């Protein structure tokens, strides 16, 4: 009996942080058996998303959440224990000749009647927890991918803005020298100084924003805030031409919607259990006894509640109300998901058009800059005019980069809203949580 009991094992808290100092120290057990990470590895946005699932400190608690759900399932699936009672009364005085004994064994029948729906509800609830954990992983991976896209876009933006400041500073130096030589008026410096100051302010803001993005990404990956690594140019999958079949398949693909469906299934089984629980509490079993005159008796024993006041009206009403709430929540979540997909599809179409215009404008600005370069070489325009053409071309390039980043972000968002782009099985799991053959949604 002692060997069958659970045993205590201490699990002391950590004595310090466990942030990794390098990407090579991260858990990189990808499902596709990719090569191990090194300090110089170039990471795609999808790899960064998977690394976030495997290493996000907040996701470490999912093992405990899965085990809590498993424990709740085990509790609900356990059959009620039979009850054994024993009484012995020693003979102290009187004409009797022997002590008396009473032994009875009984089983709760009402809990057996409600067992099947309670067990079904427990299984559905366990599946709902696993589906919700899968959705949390997808959200973490998506957040990491979007941060990587923003960091890459910010890096391109900083490079362009740095180049623009160099051009403005060179132009300002030349104008200042010409003003000192008396060839230009000092007031000619004013607009250049304003433009340079504005460009430096924008560059500082871009660098601060990139620093904050890096810190957020490092936190998701469990890295020290100062860790940096190379990000491959983001490439998002093109959205499907027709989203209708994908919208119809959302309830089967989106883990959050699956979790809500399983939660509703659990609530529906709770309604069944509550209705069956109207059956009065009943215990039946054999009873054996002997009195002080050594007369033995054996027979059935039954204990039953009389449903005069409580017929589980509150339990039925509460279970039914809970099912109605979950029914409405699921419909609202499905509507919100479909609306978000349609909104993103509209945004992507607009951004694709904007990107085409921004690309055309950038190409035109580059062509104009080439003509300006020839004109400047022939002294047809002065240096200040040529610098204006250069900064205009860089402005167009910044617009194109920002639009491309926004488009990639929305394309990635559409993937997650459609339930695409991530593994359909949880990969950050503890062994033995469940088996794929036995659960609707399995780690």
Residues β-bridged to residue 223: 20
Task: Report the pLDDT averaged over residues 229-233.
Answer: 93
**Which residues, in sequence order, are CB contacts of 166 under 8 Å at separation 6+?**
none
405 closest CA partner among 207, 219, 235: 235
In the structure, what pLDDT confidence band is assigned to residue 426 with cuts at 50, 70 and 90?
A: low
Range 42-78+114-277+312-417 classified under CATH 1.20.140.10: no
Helices 255-276, 115-180: axis angle to 10 degrees equals 150
Q: pLDDT value at position 62?
A: 82
DSSP H or E run through 286: strand 282-290
Contacts 24+ apart (CB under 8 A), 175-178: 175/384
- At 403-415, the pLDDT tens digits run 999 999 999 999 8
**Which residues, in sequence order, are CB contacts of 162 under 8 Å at separation 6+?**
203
Tokens representing 306 are 């009389």
The Cα 269–Cα 106 span in angstroms is: 27
Task: Report the pLDDT averaged over residues 40-48.
Answer: 88
- Which of 175-211 are b and which e, b meaning 16 or more Cβ less than 10 Å from the residue's Cβ? bbebeeeeebeeeebeebeebbeebbebbeebeeebe
- Percentage above 70 pLDDT, the chain: 91
Higher pLDDT, 311 or 443: 311
Q: 438 pLDDT exceeds 50?
A: no
- At 342-366, the pLDDT tens digits run 999 999 999 999 999 999 999 999 9
In the structure, what pLDDT confidence band is assigned to residue 442 with cuts at 50, 70 and 90?
A: very low
Do 167 and 298 contact (CB within 8 A), yes or no? no
- At 5-21, the pLDDT tens digits run 778 888 888 888 888 88
**Which range is least confidently modeled, 77-81, 114-118, 158-162?**
77-81
> Where do we find the tokens 């803005």?
161
CA distances from 262 to 129, 406, 426 (A): 9, 35, 17
The Cα 318–Cα 321 span in angstroms is: 5
Q: 431 pLDDT exceeds 50?
A: no
**Which residues, in sequence order, are CB contacts of 284 under 8 Å at separation 6+?**
106, 107, 109, 300, 301, 302
The Cα 9–Cα 302 span in angstroms is: 43
- At 155-193, the pLDDT tens digits run 999 999 999 899 888 888 877 787 777 766 666 677 778
3-state secondary structure of 427: coil
**Which range is least confidently modeled, 98-102, 113-117, 321-325, 424-428?**
424-428
- Residue 101 φ/ψ region, left for φ over 0, alpha for ψ in the -120 to 50 degree band, beta for the rest: beta
Q: 337 pLDDT exceeds 50?
A: yes
Q: pLDDT value at position 291?
A: 82
The Cα 225–Cα 208 span in angstroms is: 14
């Amino acid at each position: 009996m002692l060997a069958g009991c659970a045993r205590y094992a201490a699990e002391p808290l950590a004595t310090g942080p466990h942030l990794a100092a390098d990407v090579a120290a991260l858990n990189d057990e990808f499902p596709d058996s990719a090569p191990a990470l090194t300090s110089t590895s170039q990471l795609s946005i999808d790899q960064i998303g998977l690394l976030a699932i495997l290493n996000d400190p907040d996701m470490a608690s999912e093992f405990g959440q899965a085990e809590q759900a498993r424990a709740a399932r085990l509790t609900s699936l356990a059959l009620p224990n039979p009850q054994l009672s024993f009484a012995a009364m020693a003979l102290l005085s009187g004409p009797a000749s022997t002590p008396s004994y009473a032994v009875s064994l009984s089983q709760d029948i009402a809990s057996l009647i409600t067992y099947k729906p309670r067990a079904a509800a427990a299984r559905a609830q366990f599946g709902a927890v696993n589906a919700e954990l899968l959705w949390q992983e997808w959200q973490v991976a998506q957040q990491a991918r979007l941060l990587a896209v923003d960091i890459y876009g910010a890096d391109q933006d900083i490079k362009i803005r740095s180049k623009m400041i160099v051009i403005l500073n060179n132009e300002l130096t030349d104008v200042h020298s010409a003003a000192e030589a008396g060839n230009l008026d000092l007031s000619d410096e004013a607009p250049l100084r304003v433009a340079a100051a504005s460009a430096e302010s924008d560059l500082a803001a871009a660098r601060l924003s990139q620093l904050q993005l890096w810190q957020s990404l490092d936190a998701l990956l469990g890295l020290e805030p100062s860790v940096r690594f190379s990000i491959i140019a983001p490439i998002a999958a093109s959205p499907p031409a027709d989203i209708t079949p994908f919208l119809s398949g959302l309830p089967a693909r989106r883990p959050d919607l699956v979790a809500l469906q399983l939660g509703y299934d659990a609530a529906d089984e709770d309604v069944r259990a509550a209705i069956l629980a109207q059956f009065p509490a009943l215990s039946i079993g054999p009873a054996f006894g002997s009195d002080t005159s050594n007369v033995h008796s054996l027979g059935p024993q039954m204990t039953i509640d009389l449903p005069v006041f409580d017929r589980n009206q509150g339990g039925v009403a509460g279970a039914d109300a809970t099912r109605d709430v979950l029914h409405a929540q699921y419909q609202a979540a499905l509507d919100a998901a479909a609306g978000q997909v349609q909104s993103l599809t509209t945004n992507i179409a607009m951004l694709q058009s904007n990107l085409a215009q921004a690309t055309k404008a950038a190409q035109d600005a580059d062509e104009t800059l080439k003509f300006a370069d020839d004109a400047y070489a022939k002294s047809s325009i002065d240096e200040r005019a040529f610098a204006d053409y250069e900064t205009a071309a860089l402005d167009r390039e910044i617009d194109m980069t920002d639009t491309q980043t926004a488009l990639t972000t929305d394309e990635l968002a559409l993937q997650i809203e459609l339930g695409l782009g991530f593994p359909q099985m949880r990969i950050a799991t503890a062994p033995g949580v469940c088996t794929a053959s036995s659960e609707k949604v399995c780690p």
